[in-house]
């Protein structure tokens, strides 16, 4: 067995591997097709206003966005996920970060996509870029077969990213001291601090200060 398989590279998705927020692209896609009510748009905008000012946690912001799925069928979204990825997401993948993905793949490291975004949206990314594992937010499905608008387990942000990482490392026997992680936001700190080789990508102001203080490498999208 390749000894490098005990080393992993964890990539955040939104504004790290992807240059923008996938949720915003998703809302735009739905809005263009008149599939999302104005009330939901206003709720997300208000939530984002407080989130940008650190008055709302990332987990709470994700939970607000997930309310859109209430009483909807998951399979309807799974059917369109591949097309959404090819049309909206793939053209906005950060080429500079993709270079790191290819580097780790060549080295034989295990590739892990770790994101607060939902599974159906990320599965085409994992398939196309040949990631080995996906750690993300799942959607809860009720007894009636429809989604509840709530997460089906922990929301994969902040400290939960660290918990997901430690659980995967234990299951696979990963050497986290030799592993890598890539994130853009100060909420990614729990993940970045879990590995021996953290990298920041177009970092938020707060994360940029941490990276400078700790001499972490800083990457750009292109």
Question: What pLDDT, in 10s, does the model give residues 66-76?
Answer: 999 999 999 99
Average pLDDT over residues 204-214: 97
For the chain, give every domain's residue range: 3-219
Q: Contacts by 55-64 with C-beta closer than 8 Å and gap 24+?
A: 57/158, 58/116, 58/157, 58/158, 58/185, 58/187, 59/116, 59/155, 59/157, 59/158, 59/160, 62/116, 62/137, 62/151, 62/155, 62/157, 63/150, 63/151, 63/155
User: What pLDDT, on the 0 to 100 scale, is given for residue 85?
Assistant: 96
Confidence of residue 17 (pLDDT cuts 50, 70, 90): very high
Considering the chain, what is the average pLDDT of its residues?
95
Residue 47's Cβ-side half-sphere holds a number of Cα atoms within 13 Å equal to 18
pLDDT digits (tens, 9 = 90+) for 104-138: 999 999 999 999 999 999 999 999 999 999 999 99
Average pLDDT over residues 29-46: 87
User: What pLDDT, on the 0 to 100 scale, is given for residue 23?
Assistant: 87
Query: By CB neighbour count within 10 A (0-12 exposed, 13-18 middle, 19+ buried), where does 201 fall?
Result: buried
Average pLDDT over residues 41-61: 89
pLDDT digits (tens, 9 = 90+) for 142-153: 999 999 999 999
Confidence of residue 35 (pLDDT cuts 50, 70, 90): confident
Average pLDDT over residues 148-176: 97
Q: At the fourth CATH level, which superfamily is domain 3-219?
A: HAD superfamily/HAD-like (3.40.50.1000)
| Residue 215 region by backbone torsions, left for phi larger than 0, else alpha for psi between -120 and 50, else beta | left
User: What pLDDT, on the 0 to 100 scale, is given for residue 209?
Assistant: 98
Confidence of residue 82 (pLDDT cuts 50, 70, 90): very high
What is the DSSP-derived secondary structure letter of residue 212?
H
Average pLDDT over residues 173-189: 97
């Amino acid at each position: 067995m390749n000894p490098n398989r005990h080393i992993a590279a964890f990539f955040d998705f939104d504004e790290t591997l992807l240059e923008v927020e996938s949720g915003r692209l998703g809302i735009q896609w739905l809005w263009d097709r008149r599939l999302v009510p104005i009330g939901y748009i206003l709720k997300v905008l208000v939530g984002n206003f407080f989130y940008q000012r650190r008055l709302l946690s990332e987990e709470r912001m994700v939970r607000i966005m997930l309310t859109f799925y209430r009483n909807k069928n998951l399979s309807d979204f799974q059917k369109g996920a591949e097309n959404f990825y090819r049309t909206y997401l793939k053209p906005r993948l950060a080429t500079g970060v993709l270079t790191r993905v290819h580097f780790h793949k060549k080295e034989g490291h295990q590739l892990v996509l770790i994101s607060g975004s939902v599974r159906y949206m990320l599965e085409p990314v994992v398939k196309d870029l040949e990631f080995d594992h996906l750690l993300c937010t799942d959607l809860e499905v009720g007894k009636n077969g429809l989604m509840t608008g709530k997460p089906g387990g922990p929301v994969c942000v902040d400290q939960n990213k660290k918990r997901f990482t430690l659980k995967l490392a234990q299951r696979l026997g990963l050497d986290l001291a030799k592993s890598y992680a890539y994130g853009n936001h100060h909420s990614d700190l729990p993940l970045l601090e879990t590995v021996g080789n953290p990298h920041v990508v177009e970092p938020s102001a707060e994360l940029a200060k941490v990276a400078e203080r700790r001499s972490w490498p800083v990457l750009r999208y292109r």
